Structure 1
Amino acid sequence: MTWSALILAGTRPGGDPLAGTEGKPHKALIELEGTALLERVSGALREAGADRIAVSCDHPDVVALARSLDLEVLPTGQGPSESTAIAFAELGAPLLVTTADHGLLKPEWVRHIVESTPRAADLSIMLAERGDIEAALPGSKRTYLRLADGAWSGCNLFYLQHEGAGRAIESWKAVEADRKRPWRIVRRLGVSTLVKYALGRLSMAQAIEMLGLRMGVRASLVKAPDGLAAVDVDKPQDLNDIRELLHEGRA
């Protein structure tokens, strides 16, 4: 089976402060061990087996680097969900979606979500458990969603396996806005599900499946095989942690 990949590399309004501290015009150009983030991410996707790799970007320097890496360049939307919709219309399914700041991305993580997604699922989302993250990188500060089966953090890895996944992209924008307020996400699932959440009986897998049904798709959780899959370059401390991991050979 062949699949395509999308790297989200849009420009934040006002620019990214982390890029500025690194002396770069865009976060995707920040270097780790002499290699730009965009090149690291695209290299991992290519090694994982992506048939086509596209970058959703609007900064001229990122566009130039993407083209030098033989990546397809696609226009950006108003946010990640709209950019994904544009790419999905161009590339179709299956489509693996990730971000340009996923500096530790490994080919095996990509293959894991592709191969672990149930064949009947329209889409899957990779999340990592807090215990795995803290074991891999003690002291790491992440945003967690706490449910009955523990606390989970996103890995910026989504697999849109079937064309039906397109129905979820529009709803993604609203869910994305509530990602740090899990009760609002759960509220979209209906009263009975909200009660299960309040009683501590709703697991992450159940929440994703039910949220998918409300969107009209079959959605599945894929647990990250490594806690480091949830560590991206979002804050200066993240960048320091990643550089230390790479220097010590632990990533």
Structure 2
Amino acid sequence: MTAPTPGPISAIVLAGSRPGPDPLLTGSGVSTKALLPVGGRPMLVHVIAALRAAPEVGAIRVLAQNSAELAREPMLAAVPDLHFADSGQGISASLAAALPEGDAPVLVTTADNVLLTPAMIAEFLAGAAGSDVAVAMVERRVLLARYPESRRTWLKFRRGWWSGANLFRLRGQRVLPLLDFWGRIERDRKKGLKIVAAFGPWLLAGALLRLFTIQGGVARAGRRFGLAARVVPMSDAEACIDADKPSDVTLIERILARRG
């Protein structure tokens, strides 16, 4: 008997604002990063367009502190199966509240993932199939071969330095213990060694001494929570270029112009 074909995966877009001033918004006249124009369109519009064009993706939910403001964006008015909801305190708590019931997987990305494409989504979901938690990452040589001027936060492991690509696959309620743990350490999300150390001394020692690859490290971290966790290496350097700094926006707009 042939196994049933999985249906479209639902998606969550994290579009909230972090505490404190954002250098990207200074003098822009825009109240929230998700609506900042990049390449002629608000960041969020680029991301929603990529998700909606991906045949693997079904319903899309946008989470933000003031989701009604984002819902009023005219460029999103005609997008089918697009929903908005107010987020809670912190990324992990917001995600936990938005997860589907049971073990249904969900795709998670961010509003500043402006260069996202349907091809990236397809590559990531194919690599993430069967996992409880999957994280998209780009190896440093892949990025620097095309964009040596780009500056990222790197996690250094055996056989590679890696940067996150703002794509995650979470398997429903199974990941709640991991999200609860992440809620206690997410303030250090840009400090690679602090994140690794939070998973225990063995993982930290292994990272410092390069005893295992990032795939092995993430698998070990997942087992702490009874989860099958996986890194999905992305082949496109642009997958890890998000809009964090003014220099990022300059590079992104150059890439968008080249894409036409």
Task: Judge same fold: TM > 0.5, yes or no.
Answer: yes
TM-score, length of structure 2 as denominator length: 0.87
Aligned to 2:148: 138
Aligned to 1:97: 108
Q: CA RMSD in A?
A: 2.2
Indicate how the Cα distance of structure 1 residues 174 and 148 shifts in structure 2: closer, same or farther if over 3 A, else same.
Answer: farther
1:63 to 2:63 alignment: no
Describe the SS at the equivalent of 1:84.
Answer: helix
Indicate how the Cα distance of structure 1 residues 13 and 63 shifts in structure 2: closer, same or farther if over 3 A, else same.
Answer: farther
Aligned to 1:159: 169
* Amino acid paired to 1:33: G
In 1, Cα distance between equivalents of 2:21 and 2:199 = 35
In 1, Cα distance between equivalents of 2:25 and 2:128 = 34
State whether residues 193 and 202 of structure 1, in contact with CA within 8 Å, keep that contact through their aligned partners in structure 2: no
TM-score, length of structure 1 as denominator length: 0.90
Greater share of residues in helix: 1
State whether residues 96 and 158 of structure 1, in contact with CA within 8 Å, keep that contact through their aligned partners in structure 2: yes
1:35 to 2:41 alignment: yes
* Amino acid paired to 1:97: V
Shift of 1:52: 0.4
Indicate how the Cα distance of structure 1 residues 234 and 92 shifts in structure 2: closer, same or farther if over 3 A, else same.
Answer: farther
Aligned to 1:22: 28
Higher alpha-carbon deviation: 170-179 or 143-152: 170-179
Over the matched positions of the two proteins, sequence identity in percent amounts to 34
* Match among 81, 86, 99 for residue 88 of structure 1: 99
Indicate how the Cα distance of structure 1 residues 207 and 78 shifts in structure 2: closer, same or farther if over 3 A, else same.
Answer: same
Structure 1 segments of 4+ aligned residues over 6 angstroms from their partners: none
Describe the SS at the equivalent of 1:19.
Answer: coil
State whether residues 103 and 173 of structure 2, in contact with CA within 8 Å, keep that contact through their aligned partners in structure 1: yes
Contiguous gaps of at least 5 residues in structure 1: none
1:53 to 2:60 alignment: yes
Shift of 1:23: 2.6
Shift of 1:78: 1.3
Aligned length: 249
Higher alpha-carbon deviation: 160-169 or 224-233: 160-169
* Match among 227, 240, 244 for residue 217 of structure 1: 227
1:123 to 2:130 alignment: no
Higher alpha-carbon deviation: 186-195 or 155-164: 186-195
